[in-house]
Amino acid sequence: KAGVTQTPRYLIKTRGQQVTLSCSPISGHRSVSWYQQTPGQGLQFLFEYFSETQRNKGNFPGRFSGRQFSNSRSEMNVSTLELGDSALYLCASSKDAYNEQFFGPGTRLTVL
Amino acid sequence: AQSVTQLDSQVPVFEEAPVELRCNYSSSVSVYLFWYVQYPNQGLQLLLKYLSGSTLVKGINGFEAEFNKSQTSFHLRKPSVHISDTAEYFCAVFEGQGAQKLVFGQGTRLTINP
């Protein structure tokens, strides 16, 4: 069974731009969660989608948004990029609540 | 809200020595606990999980962890480490009812010296 895939793996953007990251979950998994990983703040939860609905949301500004498609693939968008948005963005999929999450390799975003 | 504390930010050990990585969580009625490992430039890989049942949980790569409810701990152990175990290790807990939000500790960097 194929694992969680994320594209692109690396991105370089400048301040003020916007970016879209993509995540394809493991086949049969309906829940997709997104996390931000930085050296200073560690791993922080962004949001979770299940059956195209946002079910949980972390403490991030409205510039961070996401969506999920009918095939469970998910995208997250960050608008008006700031230097502090530079991070590794990880996507994780699971069958449903209280099931273990399987992580993708991440997208490393650098904002200049 | 749940919180997770990993008591050591770095742990250096010699190859073939035993290791324990410590994790404490804030108490809750129901707790679901995980240990993940992250190798350089990679995502997180699940080592083991505690959802219910036996308090001693065995995972991949020879790791095990013990759930201790009275001490709110979930320490990770391995009797004999290898160079390939060099990585960052994260303890995590689910937060909330029906939640898929994982709350992570700050991570422990395990360095194996030959």
Predicted confidence (pLDDT) per residue in A5-43, tens digit: 999 999 999 999 999 999 999 999 999 999 999 999 999
Report whether B92 contacts B36 (CB < 8 A): yes
When CB atoms are compared, the residue of A31, A104, A106 closest to B100 is: A31
Q: Do A55 and B36 touch (CB under 8 A)?
A: no
The predicted-structure confidence for A46-104, as pLDDT tens digits, reads as follows 999 999 999 889 999 999 999 999 999 999 999 999 999 999 999 999 988 778 899 99
The verdict on a CB contact (< 8 Å) between B100 and A4 is no
How far apart (Å, rounded) are the C-alpha atoms in residues B18 and B80? Answer: 5
- Chain B partners within 8 Å of A92 (Cβ): 44, 102
| pLDDT for position B2 | 82
Tell me the pLDDT band of B29, cut-offs 50, 70 and 90: low
Beta-carbon separation of A48 and B46 below 8 A: no
Whether residue A90 and residue B102 make contact (CB cut-off 8 A), yes or no, is no
Preceding peptide of B79 cis, ω within 30°: no
Residues 17-76 of B with CB under 8 A from A: 32, 34, 36, 42-46, 49, 51
Bridge pairing between strands A107-111 and A10-13: parallel
Residue A2 binned pLDDT confidence (cut-offs 50, 70, 90): confident
**CA angle (A98 as vertex; B58, A90 as ends), nearest 5:** 85
Using alpha carbons only, what angle is made at residue B97 by residues B92 and B99, rounded to the nearest 5 degrees?
55
Q: A58 and A50 in contact (C-beta within 8 Å)?
A: no
Burial (CB < 10 A; 0-12, 13-18, 19+), residue B66, is middle
More confident residue, A22 or B30: A22
